[in-house]
Amino acid sequence: MKILFFGSSDFSLAALTACLEPPQEVCLVITTPPQKQGRGLKEMPNPVQQFAEAQKIPYEAPATLKNLILLERARSLRPDLIVVASYGKMIPSDWLKVPNKLCLNVHPSLLPKYRGAAPLNWPILNGDSETGMSIAEVTNKLDAGDIFFQEIIPIPENVNSLELGKNLAGKSILALRQVFKALEAGNLARHAQNDSDFTYAVKLKKENGVILWSQDVLSIHNQIRGLIPWPTAYTVFKNNPIQILKGRILDSDKCSGKPGEVISLQKPLGFEIQTGRGTLLIERLKPAGKKEMTGMDFINGLRLIPGAVFGS
């Protein structure tokens, strides 16, 4: 089957790999334009464009899909399928009519839960114990098409959203293989989503990262895990912002100090901070303008002592 592929992130690469497995053939990759990054604001291509260039796969990176010339080119290729995996934009209805068979959406959640932009983050932020992989039809309504494949995946208590994404990306290869096989055999089943059960995974903002130490330890632990790699959970120490990258719950009920206070040094692992309820071991962090470091390195570099306070 000939496939027109849409994707732009690291998560997309696994699905693209599945689409390249014979007898499938990717006739064109459509991705998003390079973005300015770093202090020099140099334009950098996304992982999908880099992969397409390295593998010599035809690709386009248009600023908009309202491009009639590109649309006509896609039609001329006569693809059997469109496969979308973390493209980041809605696909206009004219494009959905291009393939001979179906438009498939690779979505890392148990649809209809967590439709939208951040399905890897919100299950962790909300403290869910499981999520999943869904292959659904692309329609004019966001992530609302009929489901062709679904698998439940547990969320380990210390996994972060980046790690979860890598796990689910690997699952997408197996999921697409199964869907392609059923489609070729003519026995691909579908079922409609129950719209009454839907939830929306809203796009993350920098403000989502602000740690309120008055919250309970589980909420803060989930915030740290759920915001990797962006925007990351962050706090301040001596008026300087610090990203908290990894923590571990030490005690879920302990109250030995005020929220944000360092109550013990847990050498060589890190240091213990009091929350509104329970305590958190800080294992990895990144002060502004410095490299990521361990909690122990932070203790030694700032001569951290119990009684120090994080947060405004």
The verdict on residue 310 lying in a domain is no
Same domain? 166 vs 227: no
Average pLDDT, the chain: 96
- Could you tell me if 21 and 100 lie in one domain? yes
Beta pairing class for 2-7 and 25-30: parallel
Whether 129 maps to a domain, the answer reads: yes
Whether 160 maps to a domain, the answer reads yes
Kindly report, residue by residue over 9-36, the tens digit of the pLDDT. 999 999 999 999 999 999 999 999 998 7
* 158 domain-assigned: yes
Q: Which amino acid is at 184?
A: E
141 and 224 in a common domain: no
151 and 97 within one domain: yes
Q: Are residues 224 and 181 in the same domain?
A: no
Is pLDDT at 105 greater than 70 in this prediction? yes
Average pLDDT over residues 134-158: 97
Let me know if residue 13 belongs to a domain. Answer: yes
Percent of the chain with pLDDT over 70: 99
Which residue matches tokens 């740690």? 211
Are residues 158 and 236 both part of a single domain? no
What is the domain extent for residue 263? 206-302
Q: Residue 36: what pLDDT? A: 74
Cβ neighbours of residue 207 under 8 Å, at least 6 residues apart?
none
> pLDDT by residue (tens digit) across 172-221?
999 999 999 999 999 999 999 999 999 999 999 999 999 999 999 999 99
Q: Are 66 and 90 in contact (CB under 8 A)?
A: no
Confidence check: pLDDT of 41 > 90:
no
Q: What interhelical angle do 10-19 and 47-55 show, nearest 10?
A: 40
Q: What is the DSSP letter of 186?
A: T
- Convert the pLDDT of each residue in 114-142 to its tens digit: 999 999 999 999 999 999 999 999 999 99
Q: Are residues 70 and 120 in the same domain?
A: yes
Q: Which of 201, 219, 234 is the last residue of a domain?
A: 201
Residue 8's CATH number? 3.40.50.170
Are residues 74 and 214 both part of a single domain?
A: no
Binned at pLDDT 50, 70 and 90, residue 37 comes out as: confident
Say whether both 181 and 215 belong to one domain.
Answer: no
- 147: CB partners within 8 A, 6+ apart: 111, 134, 135, 136, 137, 190, 191, 192, 193
How many structural domains is the chain composed of? 2
Question: What CATH number did the domain enclosing 270 receive?
Answer: 3.10.25.10
pLDDT greater than 80 at residue 39: no
Kindly state whether residue 308 falls inside one of the protein's structural domains: no
